[in-house]
Structure 1
Amino acid sequence: MKKILLICLALVMGVTLILVGCGQKAAPAPGPAPAAPAAPAAPAPAPAPQKYEFIYTDHAPPTAGGNVLMHEWYLPRLKEMLGPELGNKVEFTWYHASSLFPYQDQINAVEQGLADICTWVNSWEIERAPLNDVMSLPFMGFQSSGIGTQAWEALNITIPEVAAEYKGFEVLGRWNGLKRYIGTNAGALRTPTDYKGHKIIASGIIGEIVQSFGGAALQLAPADWYTSLDRGLADTLIVGMSMYPMFKLTEVLDYAVSFPSGDFGYTGTNWVMGEKKFKSLPIEMQGAFKALRAEFVAQMVAVDARETAKGIRAFIDSGGKLETLTAAEEQAWIDVASPFHQKWIQGNEAKGRPGQKVYDAIKNWIGIYRQGLATQGIGG
């Protein structure tokens, strides 16, 4: 009996083990490792600007020779150099005659990115570029706009302290033009003594010279010249003859003098772009602006000669009288101006600037270009 029970129990256990084994599933074979997540797609390149816009601001009317050149020659020439694909994207918006900013605020506007390009007149920006204002000294021996322009360019190339004064700006061109004449409506005034007590529109170093012989120097915006002379707030203006028709000065001045040496001085003017704006441009556009510089300056020197002749004709045709000083009369002006050369040197040296070095260098470059020993393709 026991033997039968043991056999039955063994059969039950065997069946149970078989059923349990049949109910278990085999472990799955290991599958392939999961794929690494895909790298994010690279961002699409920013689309090229549809337009490259430049806000241009200056103090002269649109009919001024330099502004006519900018419209009719500079911008078309720039586009030509860039080629149609890029050149057609360039647009200038023009604000002449201080219509966007007063003349004294234009450099600040470009520096702050409120405008892109403007003119920079040395005698208005002495605090920014005191060493470059050496170009404002009278009786330096320039003799012509071309010689002065070449000497000034060479000065900036060879003396780092001079070039550093334009930090934050890209110089598109510079030109030492507007040979000075003295115009008045107070009679035939010829020597410094004659001008004592007169109200004379003059800026920078020339204004200091005026004060030294007893004149009252007034620094006024070009837009205010006509009104001041017309209303008797001033009676004399020291400026280039090309300004006469431009600002209708032939209506308020009737006598003018020139200097036999042609060397009472010139007005240094730059065209500058904000450095940030310049560096934001495509490399090929930066290169075009740089390549255009020498050609632009040569054009401006030629324009200066034409506009000066035009101004002289307009003044004489309006009934004005233009006379050349005698050698003795010019010497009287040289005598009052000469001390300001040393004053300029000492004033810069006292502030840690290399005044003597710059003065000697510009005199040297003037001599080189007067002798024709060097050339940068700038006429004069």
Structure 2
Amino acid sequence: MQNLTRRALLGTAAAAPLATPAILAAQTQINITIAASHPTTIAWIWAMQQALMPAVNQALESTRFRIRWREAFGGTLYRFTETRNAVKDGITDVGFVGTLWEGSAMPLQNVTYFTPFATDNLRLQVDVMEKMTAEMPEMQKAWTDNNMVYLGTCGTETYDLWTTFPVRTVDDLRNRKISAPGVSATWLGGTGAVPVNGALTTYYTDIQTGVSDGTMSFPSGIFPVRVHEVAKYITKVNIGCMYVGGIGMNRQTFNRLDPVVQAAFRTGGKAYTAALTNRVLATSEANMREMVAKGAELSTLPAAERQRWVDGLPDIAGDWARTNEGRGQPAKKVLAAYMDGLRAGGATPGRAWTA
């Protein structure tokens, strides 16, 4: 009933007659719910509030349209496992969609998670994924098939380890429980570690209670949720930058909007992508330094051990491509486009995943 009421409010703009200059000059208010499963202390949610929303508002300043925002961040509407369905089903109008948790429904968006150790250049990775999403119908189809309009890209800096024990060799991970959300569990193949599902919102409690012994993550995500307090050993591994997901808008909501407002939301999506990338790059090293200042112990996995990890991985990308090709998904084409895009941008992947 709440959704029907909110959607009815969205439609009031179209119902008003535009017969006189006075009415034409009147503002038209549009009610929009914007939500996320994570709090605004996390960079990719911060950018929704501090970049996307202001950019939409600014784009509409010289028009008769105004957005009345209803903010529902921090999981107040849905959990991290429900981000796709929340936008798809109209629980929220605009939301962060974590495609890393959607290996079945949105498999092509997870290509970066099946090509670890490919690049630590976040700007390059974001640019490649933005271009692929814009130019490849196969990438857009996952969003449209799930009743969403794609607005912006969320990428993270390179992944490292946060553990309750020191990691000096790959062997130190054997039989250890490591929190690894969704498809990132595949990165532990060959290490002997046991993956435990979770998210930034669960890591602290999982590690504190012994559900896991650490996690693979990134500074801009780990620092705000204070995981370094319960997993003080930080080991730089440079597993690579990843495409975590994006900002989606419910297609029915989008289609009901005036083209001027639709354009404003697309502008907001571009502002989100730029602001998030800048935020992550600006805060990542600072976050790492602050964690060390607060008692974390920082080390770097020796290059030979890192290569052992890379070489010991199963054919993650090949298995992913073959499985999804069997399901009618053009995974090989997407995999080749991604790796070619990285190389064209100057990256030297740690493993030839398309071989």
Interval containing the TM-score (normalised by the shorter chain) = 0.7 to 0.9
- Identify which of 191, 195, 215 aligns with 1:217: 195
Is the 8 Å Cα contact of residues 59 and 222 (structure 1) preserved in structure 2? no
Residue aligning to 1:182:
161
Residue aligning to 1:327:
303
Q: Which amino acid aligns with 1:83?
A: E
- Identify which of 47, 52, 55 aligns with 1:77: 55
Residue aligning to 1:110:
87
Provide the secondary structure at the position in 1 that maps to 2:345.
helix
TM-score under structure 1 normalisation? 0.79
Deviation above 4 Å: which 4+ runs of structure 1? none
Matching of residue 47 in structure 1 with residue 16 in structure 2? yes
Q: Deviations over 1:36-84 (max 9, x none)?
A: xxxxxxxxx8217842122122122222233333333332221111115
Is the 8 Å Cα contact of residues 137 and 341 (structure 1) preserved in structure 2? yes
- Identify which of 184, 201, 209 aligns with 1:231: 209
Between the aligned partners of 2:330 and 2:48, the Cα distance in structure 1 is 35
User: How far off its partner does 1:324 sit?
Assistant: 1.7
Between the aligned partners of 1:136 and 1:250, the Cα distance in structure 2 is 23
Deviates more, 1:290-299 or 1:200-209: 290-299
Q: Which amino acid aligns with 2:96?
A: T
Q: 1:276 to 1:170 in 2, by over 3 A?
A: same
Is the 8 Å Cα contact of residues 122 and 241 (structure 2) preserved in structure 1? no
Deviates more, 1:212-221 or 1:303-312: 212-221
Is the 8 Å Cα contact of residues 120 and 240 (structure 2) preserved in structure 1? no
Between the aligned partners of 1:161 and 1:215, the Cα distance in structure 2 is 34
Provide the secondary structure at the position in 2 that maps to 1:341.
helix
Q: Which amino acid aligns with 1:172?
A: L
Residue aligning to 1:169:
148
Provide the secondary structure at the position in 1 that maps to 2:322.
helix
Provide the secondary structure at the position in 2 that maps to 1:109.
helix
User: How far off its partner does 1:217 sit?
Assistant: 1.0
User: How far off its partner does 1:156 sit?
Assistant: 2.0
Q: Which amino acid aligns with 1:366?
A: L
Structure 1: state its 5+ residue gaps: 1-44, 372-380
Q: Which amino acid aligns with 1:354?
A: P
Provide the secondary structure at the position in 2 that maps to 1:141.
coil
- Identify which of 197, 206, 218 aligns with 1:240: 218
Q: Which has the larger radius of gyration?
A: 1
Residue aligning to 2:125:
148
Matched ranges for 1:1-380 at <5 A: 46-47=15-16, 50-83=28-61, 85-87=63-65, 89-139=66-116, 141-167=118-144, 168-185=147-164, 187-210=165-188, 212-259=190-237, 262-337=238-313, 339-370=315-346
Q: 1:357 to 1:66 in 2, by over 3 A?
A: closer
Q: Which amino acid aligns with 1:169?
A: M
Q: 1:140 to 1:228 in 2, by over 3 A?
A: closer
Is the 8 Å Cα contact of residues 56 and 92 (structure 1) preserved in structure 2? yes
Between the aligned partners of 1:327 and 1:299, the Cα distance in structure 2 is 33
Q: Which amino acid aligns with 2:77?
A: L
Q: Deviations over 1:209-241 (max 9, x none)?
A: 325433221112432211111111111111111
Q: Deviations over 1:183-224 (max 9, x none)?
A: 101x21143321111111002332133254332211124322
Between the aligned partners of 1:251 and 1:119, the Cα distance in structure 2 is 27
Between the aligned partners of 1:253 and 1:330, the Cα distance in structure 2 is 21
Between the aligned partners of 1:120 and 1:154, the Cα distance in structure 2 is 19
Between the aligned partners of 2:271 and 2:54, the Cα distance in structure 1 is 13
State how many pairs are aligned. 323
Is the 8 Å Cα contact of residues 55 and 264 (structure 2) preserved in structure 1? no
Is the 8 Å Cα contact of residues 242 and 310 (structure 1) preserved in structure 2? no
Is the 8 Å Cα contact of residues 154 and 365 (structure 1) preserved in structure 2? no
Provide the secondary structure at the position in 2 that maps to 1:242.
helix
Is the 8 Å Cα contact of residues 150 and 249 (structure 2) preserved in structure 1? yes
Between the aligned partners of 2:101 and 2:131, the Cα distance in structure 1 is 22
Is the 8 Å Cα contact of residues 152 and 247 (structure 2) preserved in structure 1? yes
User: How far off its partner does 1:144 sit?
Assistant: 1.3
TM-score under structure 2 normalisation? 0.84
Between the aligned partners of 1:335 and 1:115, the Cα distance in structure 2 is 43
Q: 1:221 to 1:176 in 2, by over 3 A?
A: closer
Between the aligned partners of 1:278 and 1:195, the Cα distance in structure 2 is 47
CA-based RMSD of the aligned residues comes to 2.1
Q: Which amino acid aligns with 1:121?
A: G
Q: 1:191 to 1:350 in 2, by over 3 A?
A: farther
